[in-house]
């Protein structure tokens, strides 16, 4: 993490997590994120600020970002967070900004099909 995203810092404690910032385009604000990862569970990412639009898609009920479809095996514990979850969060922010500007509220990023258990061949 420190090599690829040196602005991310790990804070230990009762609820240890990585905290850091991402700026998906030069015109974007600096987003502050929290990344929580417990072995055996999926990593979770929240945007702490600026506040995300309440209707923003691709988020779970706890407002963490839906960055991949767990059933497709796009992420597994053998992967580095810095090579998957963090850059995926940057992409989420990029597509979120496009979504915000789009009067038709379209999401331009790749989407996992809803309600399907297997990736279509």
Beta bridge partners of 10: 18
Q: What is the token pair recorded at 26?
A: 């030069």
Q: Which of 21, 34, 36, 37 binds another protein (CB under 8 A)?
A: 21
Q: Which of 13, 104, 117, 118 binds another protein (CB under 8 A)?
A: 104
Q: Which of 14, 114, 117, 118 binds another protein (CB under 8 A)?
A: 114
**H or E element, residue 10:** strand 9-11
Contact segment (CB under 8 A) with another protein among 10-18, 45-53, 79-87 equals 79-87
CA distance 116 to 104: 25
Closer Cβ to another protein, 14 or 114, answer by number:
114
121 lines the binding site for another protein (CB under 8 A): no
User: 72: which DSSP letter?
Assistant: G
């Amino acid at each position: 993490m420190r090599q690829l995203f040196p602005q991310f810092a790990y804070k230990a404690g009762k609820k240890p997590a990585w905290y850091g910032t991402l700026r998906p385009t030069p015109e974007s604000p600096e987003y502050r994120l929290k990344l929580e990862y417990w072995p055996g569970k999926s990593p979770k990412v929240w945007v702490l600020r600026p506040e995300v639009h309440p209707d923003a898609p691709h988020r779970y009920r706890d407002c963490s970002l839906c960055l991949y479809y767990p059933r497709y095996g796009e992420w597994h514990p053998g992967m580095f967070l810095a090579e998957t979850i963090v850059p995926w969060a940057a992409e989420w922010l990029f597509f979120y900004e496009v979504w915000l500007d789009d009067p038709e509220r379209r999401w331009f990023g790749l989407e996992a099909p809803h309600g399907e258990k297997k990736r279509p061949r």
